[in-house]
Amino acid sequence: MNRDPVLFRVDGTKQTGWERFNRCLTYSAALQRRRRQAFFRSQLDPASLALPIKRIGNEWLEADDPVATGLDLSETIQEIRRIRPAAVIVDSPNISEEYLSEVSAAGPLVVSIEHEPTIRYPSALVINPMLEPGRDSFDFVPGTQLLLGRRYAIVRPEIRRVRQIRAQEPLAPFRVLIALGDDDKGQVLELVRKLIALSKLERIDVAVRSYHPLLQQLNQLQAAHPKRLELAMEPAEVTAKISRCHFAISSGDSWSLELACVGVPQLVIVQSEFHWPTARRLEDEGVAVCLGENANVSTSVLKQSIHDILDDSWERQAMSRCGRKLIDGRGPDRLVTALEVLLHPSRLIDFHEPENFAA
């Protein structure tokens, strides 16, 4: 790495969830192709989350306080003065306009990644990698650049590579992939138990992280049904399951966009309020069928929806085409290019200073 680094301020804990942390990790991997090292100033739980950061050559700086609380601002500015990053990328729901303004005043270009707009953003760049909300929902200062929607969906490189492999629908037997995302609210165990009762599903694959709070119970359930149920935790295992499944059950989060990129038909069961806009957009685009909020999806509705999607191969093929057309998987590359454009020396000239004009 021979260029100014980038500092990520994002947490990954049980309280904040892990979706934001993991999308920043994907963004940092894309930045490495432009020879920019990333420093993560983060609270991580479990601490093993630091391993993928360091494995690709980046650095982890442990934060004493969550984002924008306690002494976090002063300690972040201290790290900025020490590292001298070209940009600071902040991804947190607990953020304030004052926090971002103070970070910007310290010198670096400030980037905000946000899918729940609640403040007036003083950042130079605002990114929403989800499908919704759109521009009208964001309040920002003059000069702020907005990158919103499907072109900037953050898709992991290992997922994007499956796009070519899964050009056609897999053959029988019918397989389903349960992928409720990084911030599963504990619904996966109940969902697996419901699907095991469906004889039409011969294989049930569950994509979970190694730190999922219900991993022990899922392992016990797998041991009880070894021929029908399998867990996928490593990237290679997850990509293999994606390439073989006939449809997936997702929650309208970042994983839903990755499945759409590959061309996997989906039934969406929403777990978090802020995933509703993306879930509705996926249904509007013909990529998925949104069954509603988890608490309101009955067993009978779930079973009927699964039978409908398995009985109609033409519908599955149409959903697959719509998903591949909607998400092309190049979002991280576009985000890196946008950041490099803003960091280009020609944009850093102060044209109010007479010496910056050619004679």
- In this predicted model, what pLDDT tens digit does every residue of 64-104 receive, in sequence order? 999 999 899 999 999 999 999 999 999 999 899 999 999 99
Residues contacting residue 216 through CB under 8 Å, at least 6 positions apart: none
CA distance 296 to 292: 7
Which residue, 291, 301, 304, 309, is CA-closest to 175? 309
CB 347 within 8 A of CB 341: yes
pLDDT of residue 338: 95
Please give the Cα distance from 39 to 29 (Å, whole number). 12
Q: Say what the pLDDT of residue 1 is.
A: 55
- β-pairing, 145-148 with 125-128? parallel
Q: How far apart are CA 323 and CA 182, in angstroms?
A: 21
Q: How would residue 350 be classed by pLDDT, with cut points 50, 70 and 90?
A: very low
> 64 near 44, Cβ under 8 Å?
no
Is the pLDDT score of 351 beyond 60?
Answer: no
Q: Tell me what pLDDT residue 166 has.
A: 83
**Domains along the chain with CATH numbers:** 6-155+330-356 (3.40.50.11190), 157-326 (3.40.50.2000)
Q: In this predicted structure, what is the pLDDT of residue 169?
A: 79
pLDDT of residue 358 exceeding 90, the answer is no
User: Parallel, antiparallel, or unpaired: how do β-strands 203-207 and 229-232 relate?
Assistant: parallel
The answer to whether residue 359 scores a pLDDT higher than 50 is: no
Structure-token match 């397989």, residue found: 175
pLDDT value at position 33? 86
Question: What are the tens digits of pLDDT across the range 257-290?
Answer: 999 999 999 999 999 999 999 999 999 999 999 9
The pTM of this model reads: 0.92
